[in-house]
Structures are given as structure tokens and as C-alpha cells.
Amino acid sequence: MKQHHTFLVPTSYPLFWFEEHAPQMHMPPWVMEKAAIIIPAAKQNMRSAFRSGVPVALGTDAGVYPHGENGGEFWAMVTLGMSPVQALQAGTANAAELMGLSDPLGSITKGKLADIVAVNGDPLANVEVLKHVQFVMKDGVVYKDEISAAETSASH
């Protein structure tokens, strides 16, 4: 994959989510037995790929876990060995490159679409802040703005 610049799009967060929530889901024993083999192997394979420099883009298996928890993918990638910067690149520039959309997307650059998210904190210091996106702008249109709402209510 590295030699041919073939992207790995792991879905690592579901591995952690399943481990945490499977007991409440009352899965059949055979599912739990299979998961006990597959999940550690998948985590190790991802660690190895990250370490070897395989290009990675962020993707999700949204639907495996509740919608809105997609930011956990950044946390899972870091937990499995990526640096926070590498995880952010996987979700931005690398994802845009994989989709063939590096010209309009993937970085905050003059002339590109204004697709921006903001969080309360520094994701390089604590990647878990990406689990709680507070501001979303796509192509210059604001779709979510908890930051201004919090400032407005604090000033009243």
C-alpha cells in the first residue's frame, strides 16, 4: 500500500465502541468469541500500517455506533499510534486527496471551499475535543454555531 500510495481507510473507532458496549447489546456467544479474535488483530494491523507509513484517510462506519460519535475516529487513530497531527491530516488533506478533491478541499487555503469545523480546545494537545464539534461551516455557510450561542447567552 505504501509503495503504490494506496490509502488505508480504517474504521478503528467501532472496535473500541463494540468492546465497551457489547455486554449491553446481549450478543450471541459466537459473536463475542469472533470479536475476541478479530478486534485485537484489527488493532494490531492498524498499528502496523500506521507505523509503516501507509497513507491513511479517515472514514467511519457510521451506523455501527450512534450517529454523532464520528469524532471518536480521530481518538481511536491516535490511540492506535498516529500522532494528533497525522489523524487531523487523515481527516482533511488525505481524505481530500483520496477523493480526488485536493483542489477545492482539504486545507484552509485561499480559493478553496470554506469547510471548517471548530472545537473548544487544542486537538493537538487533546484529540478527544474532536468528539464535540461546536462549529461547522461548509462552503461558507454556517450549519452549527454553539460558540456564538454560548457567547450570546453568557453576555445576557
Q: Which of 154, 156, 83, 151 is nearest to 118 (CA)?
A: 151
- Computed over every residue of the chain, the mean pLDDT equals 90
**What confidence tier does 6 reach under pLDDT thresholds 50, 70, 90?**
very high
Q: Which residues pair with 117 in a beta bridge?
A: 136
Q: Which of 50, 61, 54 is nearest to 16 (CA)?
A: 61
Cα dist. 125→22, 82, 86, 108, 129 in Å?
30, 13, 13, 20, 9
**What confidence tier does 152 reach under pLDDT thresholds 50, 70, 90?**
low
Q: What is the pLDDT of residue 155?
A: 61
Strands (DSSP E) contained in 73-120 are: 116-118
Whether the per-residue pLDDT at 24 is higher than 80: the answer is yes
Q: What is the pLDDT of residue 95?
A: 94
Question: Could you tell me the three cell numbers for 8?
Answer: 488505508
Q: What would the pLDDT profile of 45-101 be if each residue is shown by its tens digit? A: 999 999 999 999 998 876 778 788 888 999 999 999 999 999 999 999 999 999 999
Q: What's the mean pLDDT in 97-109?
A: 90
Q: How far apart are CA 46 and CA 27, in angstroms?
A: 25
Higher pLDDT, 45 or 23: 45
Find the range with the poorest average confidence among 10-14, 60-64, 139-143, 146-150.
60-64
- pTM, two decimal places: 0.87
The CATH code for residues 13-155 is: 3.20.20.140
Instruction: Please give the span between the terminal C-alpha atoms of the chain, in angstroms, as a whole number.
Output: 55
